[in-house]
Amino acid sequence: MQNTENYGQIVLGATPIGNLSDASPRLREIMASADLVAAEDTRNFHHLAQALGIRPTGRVMSLHEHNEQHKIAEVLDAVRSGSTVLVVSDAGMPAVSDPGFPLVAAALDEGLLVTAVPGPSAVLTALALSGLPTGRFTFEGFLPRKAGERRKRLNALAGEERTMVFFESPHRLAAFLASVAEAFGGDRQVAVARELTKKFEEVRRGPVGELLEWAEAGVRGEIAVVIAGTSAPEPAEAGDHVDQVEELVAAGTRMKEAVAEVAQRFGLKKRELYEAVLALRQNSESQGRTP
């Protein structure tokens, strides 16, 4: 087991998603003091630092989706040498639909320290403002651009009961919502959040069919879409399926086998279904004996 006592660390820094005042004191401190800053876009990082009145003392390098695999070794070497490496994306938390995950995975595989300076998150902000259930949710990020692949992914989510959060570009929003209406139905409740924490922040809520009409006129800004999950199906009642059992029995199937087949088909408990069949038969016999 390697001795990591003198190693440095990787710090994932959450940067503002719009309002610069959301930059935390801890983020400001580490932006200034980190030995190495791995930024999704170095120009954006320098603009952020300048706007916050910070003068970074460490080296700044690029780390984006096109070069991350080639930069991992360099970053890990810096950590092994004792450096604190700050990883930042253009907005929000790195590694969440942004560069950073492959680096984090590689660092953890080597037992290196990875920590975070938490802060702004477009996912959680959109979810909280959506007015949709927040107790359980799933983040789906950006869906495929091609209509067929996007439709396939949404069809796979048609039975999802949790609230779903997506990212989408403004010029593809209308096509995205059209695919949602096709897969989930035009009445599915949706919230479209744009320009979160910025001057022109807007959250539109309503059935996807209505929001589609709005989006078709053109939308600008950073977009997060929150979609309500489907309602949980009503649990099957054994008494609702007695007729299916009796039909199988009338066709020559033994009672026990008929109950087992119907119970498996509808997700019922065999004993409850068996008792429901007997109860209905007894009730029918009692009515037949009534003078």
Across 139-164, average pLDDT = 93
* Banded model confidence at residue 1, pLDDT cuts 50, 70, 90: very low
**Of 35-44, 73-82, 261-270, which range is least confident?**
261-270
Residue 107 burial (CB count, 10 A): 20
Across 17-37, average pLDDT = 97
Distance CA 41, CA 25 (A): 22
Give the per-residue pLDDT at 287: 65
| pLDDT greater than 50 at residue 290 | no
* Banded model confidence at residue 198, pLDDT cuts 50, 70, 90: very high
Total-model pTM: 0.77
Q: Are 86 and 37 in contact (CB under 8 A)?
A: yes
| pLDDT greater than 50 at residue 6 | yes
Quote the mean pLDDT of the chain: 92
